[in-house]
Amino acid sequence: MTIYPAIDIIDGKCVRLKMGDYSQKTVFGDDPIAVAKEWERLGAKFIHIVDLDGARSGDMPNFDLIAKIAKSVSAKIEVGGGIRDMTAVDRYLEAGVRRVILGTAALRNPAFARAAAQKYGERVAVGIDAKDGKVAVSGWEEVSSADAAEFAKEMERAGVKTVIYTDIATDGMLGGPNLKAMKDMVNAVGIDVVASGGVSKIEDVAALKKIGVEGAIIGKALYTKDIDLSRALAEAENTEKDVNHMDIIKSDFIKDLKFDKDGLIPAVAQDSVSGEVLMLAYMNADSIRETIKTGHATYFSRSRQQLWEKGATSGNFQDVVEMYVDCDQDAIVLKVKQTGNACHTNNHSCFYRRVKDGRLEEIPTGTAAKPGILYDVYNVIVDRVNHPKKGSYTNYLFEKGIDKMLKKVGEEASEVIIASKNYVKSEVQYETADLLYHLSVVLVEQGLTWDDIFVELQKRYK
């Protein structure tokens, strides 16, 4: 999936609006060229630029600046805002812009969008900006009666290869994308859909990727530093195939399962990393097939009497890593990579109530994620290396180098030895945690991950 960092321009400056409202403007920088260079330095391959003055006025007051940006970076540039006729399209594309975005003009004059798409193919995209499903134009100050999905289909028929779909209500609000609207759009058309609006955390990128959009535009969250662009790019590019064991499962096994009288079988979802039990749900034969086909846990909802892809509305998808069938063939275990929380109560696991001394008590879930915390610590160390922080002990270790790190590992190991010899459990616990942190530092320094270590351990486990 492509990540498009966004640069919106008003009066030559880099700004962000809330829900496209020109009166709710924050200026994030005086130099959009410097911003584009920074996005490129962090790895962006495609940058999304909007001339907001142009979108409102219908001409291109920031053309020279945008042409200059296109010349200053080797990342591809797409531009929207004020492109209303073929001359405008020609000018931008000749200036080195990779793709133009038509908004107002495409809605008002579909024949023009068709002609532009015929002339320039994939170098023309249509921006569909929706308020309650209806297309907004002219800087979003006018809402038409056109239905967003219908208009997208019309543009597909006209030969347009990409629609950039913005949900105005979420744009600039940092509240997460409208996954349902995006999914509906992906389902409505066969061409590429780029999602825009509300992306505010790394999990949003993962959730959008699962929906099948070609790309995601990220704006405000980059400027507020809620999202680190390099991490978003890594998340988007991560093509790791999660369903690696599925191939060996023959669909025949389904007919041997013991479904209950309603055709259902209980399925327990377990976190594939921490081993934490996340939830219990029910599957029928179709949902098992769907799970195998898509790699996303899909259950059968007993209340709604229909297939239910976990995460379809909440974004809390479950990528299935492995599936197990029990000895009596009447229960299933799915080992999953859980995005966000599994439970609708916002607890990580549905089993957040423990019976203690005959009574129920609530316990924080997710904290039992044993190796999970090692990944978290490891990721913080990597983050410190990439973005040094003043006063950071981790950065201090990296400045001193490997000898200092190894000295610390030796010291912490000795502390574990002493604490264990003294049989003081709390100290063994404390010193072992110190040792694991310092080992994590050494792993980062050596270019190894905890996964490498776990794979090695797994080999020895008989």
Catalytic residues: 8, 129
With CB under 6 A as the contact rule, the residue among 5, 32, 103, 315 that binds ligand AMZ is: 103
| Residue of 121, 168, 130 whose CA lies nearest to 149 | 130
Decide if 349 contacts 365 (C-beta within 8 A): yes
Q: Could you tell me which stretch among 38-46, 79-87, 242-250, 426-434 binds ligand AMZ (CB under 6 A)?
A: 79-87
**Site for ligand AMZ contains 116 (CB under 6 A):** no
Residue 1 interacts with ligand AMZ (CB under 6 A)?
Answer: no
Beta strand 2-10 with 215-218 is: parallel
Shortest Cβ 142–ligand AMZ spacing (Å): 10
148 binds ligand AMZ (CB under 6 A): no
Site membership for ligand AMZ, residue 193 (CB under 6 A): no
**Sign of CA pseudo-dihedral 419, 425, 430, 431:** positive
**Strand pairing partners for 4?**
217
Nearer to ligand AMZ, 8 or 309 (CB): 8
Phi first, then psi, for residue 83 (nearest 5°) are -90, 105
Q: Tokens for 257?
A: 């399962």
Q: Is 137 in the site for ligand AMZ (CB under 6 A)?
A: yes
Regarding 82 and contact with ligand AMZ (CB under 6 A), the answer is yes
Q: Return left, alpha or beta for 126; rule: phi > 0 is left, psi -120 to 50 is alpha, else beta.
A: beta
Inter-helix orientation angle 370-386/425-446, to 10°: 50
Minimum CB distance to ligand AMZ, residue 208 (Å): 17
The CA-CA-CA angle for residues 438, 442, 446, to 5°, reads: 170
Which DSSP state fits 339?
-
Choosing from 50, 188, 320, 405, the residue that interacts with ligand AMZ (CB under 6 A) is 50
The site map against ligand AMZ for 409-448 (x = CB under 6 A) is ----------------------------------------
Is 55 one of the binding residues for ligand AMZ (CB under 6 A)?
yes
The answer to whether 303 and 321 are in contact (CB under 8 A) is no
Among 105, 181, 199, 428, binds ligand AMZ (CB under 6 A): 105
Q: Can you give the binding site for ligand AMZ, defined by CB under 6 A? A: 17, 20, 50, 52, 54-55, 80-83, 101-105, 127, 129, 137, 139-140, 166
